[in-house]
Homo-oligomer: A and B are copies of this chain.
Amino acid sequence: MIDKLISKIKKTQAPIVVGLDPMLKFIPEPILKRAFAEYGETLQGAAEAVWLFNKEIVDAIYDVVPAVKPQIAMYEQFGLEGVKAFCKTVEYCKSKDLVVIGDIKRGDIGSTSEAYAVGHLGHVQVGSQTCAGFDEDFATVNPYMGTDAVAPFVKVCREEKKGLFILTKTSNPSSGEFQDRPIDGRPLYEWVGEKVTEWGSDFVGESGYSYVGAVVGATYPEQGKILRAIMPKAYILVPGYGAQGAKGADLKHFFNEDGLGAIVNSSRGIIAAWQQEKYKAFGPEHFADASRQAVLDMQADLHQALESVGKTTY
């Protein structure tokens, strides 16, 4: 799956993942009205609005990006109905041949992590049958509990040829509270980075990149530079671009000389583009076209940043 991701990045020339993190306030009035007319102002109505919104965006962007990243929290906020919309979204994106990164940030003791891994990336044994649950292509994993929490995910990924992104240095303002604390002279995130390298060192695709990647926030470019060196084979999933404040120029260190090694996420910067002054002309009816334009603008911004430091662009 890491090779498929890279091949699609090359094909689309876009090291971009669109975060499908729908909040109701991002959804244009006509879609909300349609969903509420059918199901009322209920969890089911909200989930229907999310699904209609996602589908239109996916239809508008599937040929210009390699991957999407649904953030499961934005679906869980609507309970079971939201999780149904998550499943429909994952299935639809896969039918459009998009790589689906489940942003689930799970992690628990061994047998429990195994259940998460099986449910999100693998197959579970039911009597004599094996069944797939959520069936994403990649998942994000929280490393606070150590190797026990990560190893079952790696095991399932080996069986399924799927991949992981381990939280290393996250994009949020308080990420330093624990992640930056110095241990034997080096911040915790560097020790996590070392482990990411260890967990993925013998699980590498034909591209030379590992199936075990890392999450490093675009909001911390200097730390990104250090982590890039610590984890040479890890693909880095980079959140924090756009709405969280990072620009293309902050991203150049996350990429290797080959122009690969990183995929940059933007969520509301793409899916709620229609609400920005810049894309206002599209209007709420054409919100998905605004999303497509926002992807193309982001692509140009990233290319410019990479070219400015002489790195290959895709």
Interface residues of A (CB under 8 A from B): 21, 23-24, 32, 36, 41-43, 45-46, 71, 73-74, 76-80, 82-84, 87, 105-113, 115-116, 118-120, 124-129, 131-135, 142-149, 167, 170-179, 181-184, 188, 191-192, 195, 239, 244
A-B contact pairs, 27 of them (CB 8 A): A41-B127, A42-B131, A43-B124, A71-B108, A71-B112, A76-B115, A77-B119, A77-B124, A78-B119, A79-B87, A79-B134, A80-B80, A80-B87, A82-B119, A105-B106, A105-B108, A109-B239, A142-B144, A143-B144, A145-B170, A145-B179, A146-B174, A147-B174, A177-B195, A181-B191, A182-B183, A182-B184
What are the 7 tightest A-B residue pairs by CB atom distance, in nearest-first order? A79-B133, A146-B174, A146-B177, A41-B127, A77-B119, A77-B115, A109-B172
Number of copies: 2
Neighbouring B residues of A76 by C-beta, 8 Å = 115-116, 119-120, 133-134
Given contacts A78-B119, A115-B76, A126-B41, whether A172 and B148 have CB atoms under 8 Å apart is: yes
Shortest beta-carbon distance, A61 to chain B, in Å?
A: 21
Give the residue name and chain of the B residue nearest to A122 (CB): B77
Give Cα A143–Cα B148 distance, bound, in whole angstroms: 17
Give Cα A119–Cα B83 distance, bound, in whole angstroms: 11
Asked whether, in the complex, the Cβ of B73 is within 8 Å of the Cβ of A108, the reply is yes
Neighbouring B residues of A77 by C-beta, 8 Å = 115-116, 118-119, 124, 133
Give Cα A23–Cα B171 distance, bound, in whole angstroms: 35
Give Cα A124–Cα B181 distance, bound, in whole angstroms: 35
Shortest beta-carbon distance, A108 to chain B, in Å?
A: 6
